[in-house]
A and B are shown apart, each in its own frame.
Chain A
Amino acid sequence: MITPLLDLFVALIPFLIMSVALTKVNIVDVALSGPGAVAAPPSTDDYALSLRVHNSKAEIFLNNALVSSIPATADKTWIDQAHVKLVELKRKRPEALKIHIEPQGRVSLELLMSFMDASRELRVDDAEIKRKDEVTGKTVRLRFLFPQVVLKGVYG
């Protein structure tokens, strides 16, 4: 008989509908540079990477020297271009983890979050970056780009 199957469906479906989450809210960790904010450990090397986000352009600085200036586009192309440049920099220095992001002017949070995502993680279509693990000594494939995002400019 098909009745038990129908009973099961009727019991399961309302339960699953009640518990389903169609939108998932996730979080992005940020550290703040300045007083009262902790999080990112102090830099021990001379590698200071920062990304200045304007509404009209994005600028990447390495040790205070301008590496790349990417003009804004109507779509998300400029974010992808910044990501490609950051991947290039990561390839040269796989052990670097920190990036300072400095919003300039009236930058929206949406734009800022897009740049934070572009700076934090390697994408599926990025070429592999490998690094020797200091603890195990094995070569591992990196998943993150610069996961320690520090927001600059909050305290002045």
Chain B
Amino acid sequence: MMATATRSGFGFGGRSGVKRRGMSHGVSLNLTPMIDLMTIMLIFLIKSYSISPQYLTPAEHLKLAVTTSDSAAPDKVSIALGLDGVRVEGKLVVSFSGTAKDAKLLNLPSIPALQKALTKLKLDPKMEGSDTLIIQADRALSFDYVKPILRTAGAAGFHDIKFAGIYED
């Protein structure tokens, strides 16, 4: 519809435009495809626009599991569990080797370095004493590696645990 109106009604592009403009400059610009493209883009972008803010952006190098949960992530503390270790605020706090050497670490009731980092976050006045912790974990990670993290989170005072996932309808 837009394309038709442009061609016939407004005189850009099309034959009449070429003739009129050709007399003065000898060059014409056909705007119809650009307007068509912009209209399609605008519709797509408006459709995917969300008013509610996104508090959580997926951590780098992590492939999050897919979820059908429609609960949006709140503005709370989050940690990233990758195949190489645990990152708190972007810093690698605990390293995983992915071998049998990790066995000792996995059996600990609490991981001291992580507990220290989490306790520091918990005491941050910005967090207002919230006990919610969002865990962004790589989908390929075995649950064995998540267990000590959950125990440590509990020891640091985070009792409301939420797993982050990429929403798929």
Contact = CB atoms under 8 A, between A and B. Distances in A.
- Pair from one complex: yes
A134 interface: no
Given A2-B35, A20-B45, A32-B154, A39 B159 contact: yes
Contact of B12 (A2, A32, A108): A2
B67 A117 contact: yes
Nearest to A103: B143
Contacts of B167: 23-26
Top 6 nearest A-B pairs (CB, nearest first) are A36-B154, A16-B45, A110-B139, A113-B65, A27-B162, A24-B167
Contacts of B42: 9, 12-13, 16
Size band of the interface chain B makes with A = 35 or more
B150 A32 contact: yes
B114 interface: no
B48 interface: yes
A113 B139 contact: yes
A135 interface: no
A82 B48 CA distance: 33
B66 interface: yes
Contact of B166 (A13, A24, A36): A24
Interface of A: 1-2, 5-6, 9, 12-13, 16-17, 19-32, 35-39, 103, 106-110, 112-114, 116-117, 120-121, 151, 153-155
A54 to B, nearest CB: 11
B54 A35 contact: no
Contacts of B137: 109
Interface of B: 6, 10, 12, 31, 35, 38-39, 41-42, 45-46, 48-50, 54, 56-58, 64-74, 134, 136-144, 146-147, 150-151, 154-155, 159-167
Nearest to A15: B45
B56 to A, nearest CB: 5
A120 B69 contact: yes
15 contacts: A12-B42, A25-B58, A26-B165, A27-B56, A27-B134, A28-B67, A30-B163, A36-B159, A37-B154, A107-B143, A109-B137, A110-B139, A113-B65, A113-B163, A116-B163
Contacts of B56: 25, 27
A114 B160 CA distance: 20
A48 to B, nearest CB: 21
A25 B165 contact: yes
B141 A108 contact: yes
A110 B65 contact: yes
A54 B65 CA distance: 18
B49 A20 contact: yes
Nearest to A53: B143
Given A39-B161, A109-B137, A110-B65, 16 more contacts: A2-B10, A22-B48, A23-B166, A24-B167, A25-B56, A25-B136, A25-B164, A27-B73, A28-B162, A28-B163, A29-B162, A32-B150, A108-B143, A113-B165, A114-B65, A155-B151
